Amino acid sequence: MASYKGTPIFDDSNYRQLVSQTDKHGGSFGSGFDPQAVGRYGSACPGVEYANIPRSEWKDRIEEKERKGLFPEAWFKRGNVKILNQRSWGYCWMYGVVGGMQLRYAMTGRQAPHLNPFYPAWLGKNGANRGGWGGEALGYIDKYGVPLDSVFSGQPTSRSSFDRHEVKENAKLHKVWKFTELRRDSFQALMNMWLSDNPLPVSQAFNWWGHLVYAMRPVVIGSDAFGTEIGNSWDISWGNQGRGIIAESKASAAEQICIDIVSTLAA
């Protein structure tokens, strides 16, 4: 398998193994894309368009920004961002978004909190093990918040675990205050955002994979070949410590939402 600095690259030649892994790791996001999903939950700027960056400039710009530590991935390392594990639950649509939240917290300069996405996902689905979308996840995050894993750990299914006052109060501290949706099925839109003045973590829902993850930087994988490095929610045993690269041919996402501003953490 091709790789980039030790991180496996998934493209047209090997993407099927990811699809089969989905069965093993559990759940996908919802079938049938709801175009209103994001807008319904109050996207600040749905379909926002960044200035177009010609493909001919991608390589040089990526390498320059990489050298200067401007992509979210540079903050992933220093913020000690935790790779999540959704286990057999079909809550990737929540785990991917919350993974992006953790990275966004790291980008404020502090150590990233280890959040537990199971709490808002389970409450949002009323305990059902069902797929969803990133926009839907943002709605539940706004409603319930996301608790620290140290306060609400694992994947308990008893209602009493969710009703604890301490958990509810802690969850309210961690929310997304602003997000922006990029043009769907457009790798160009993703690159435009990343090569803009304000690169952000972005959740990506792939129809071919039936899975939602978050992306942290663009990578140059050939003379005119590009990809996106993702953080998965299948624990660190997957890919390179939980991270992988999706080649351009597979990196156009049916839904891609930038995590722009997160609430501040308690001191």
Partner 1 sequence: MSSPLKPIDFEALRKPQAKPVSSPTVEPHVRPTAYRPTLTVRDWLNVALICAVVFFGCLWLFRGSDGPGPNPGPVVDVDGLHVLVLTPDDRSSLTSGQNEFANSAKIADWVEQNGGKYRRYPESQDITNEEQVWQELRQSLSSPHHLAVLKDRRLTKLEIPDGIDAGIRLLEGFK
| 65-85 exposure pattern, b = at least 16 Cβ within 10 A, e = fewer | bbeeebbbbbbbeebebbbbb
Among 18, 74, 103, 189, binds partner 1 (CB under 8 A): 74
Tokens of 60: 């040089």
Question: Within 10 A of 183 (CB to CB), how many other CB atoms are there?
Answer: 18
The 225-231 sheet, strands edge to edge: 3-4, 7-10, 243-247, 225-231, 211-222, 202-206, 255-262, 176-181
Among 16, 78, 143, 159, binds partner 1 (CB under 8 A): 78
Nearer to partner 1, 190 or 262 (CB): 262
Among 96, 134, 199, 218, binds partner 1 (CB under 8 A): 199
State how far the Cα of 197 lies from the Cα of 134, in Å rounded to an integer: 24
**Minimum CB separation from partner 1 for residue 131, in Å?**
32
Q: Which range touches partner 1 (CB under 8 A), out of 1-9, 126-134, 154-162, 259-267?
A: 259-267
Q: Does 264 bind partner 1 (CB under 8 A)?
A: yes
Among positions 109-128, residues that touch partner 1 (CB under 8 A) are: 109-110
Among 2, 19, 173, 254, binds partner 1 (CB under 8 A): 173
State how far the Cα of 14 lies from the Cα of 134, in Å rounded to an integer: 25
Q: Does 266 bind partner 1 (CB under 8 A)?
A: yes
Nearer to partner 1, 69 or 127 (CB): 69
**Minimum CB separation from partner 1 for residue 69, in Å?**
4
Helices (H), 173-232: 187-194
Enumerate binding residues for partner 1 (CB under 8 A). 68-70, 74-75, 77-78, 107-110, 173, 177-178, 196-199, 261, 263-267
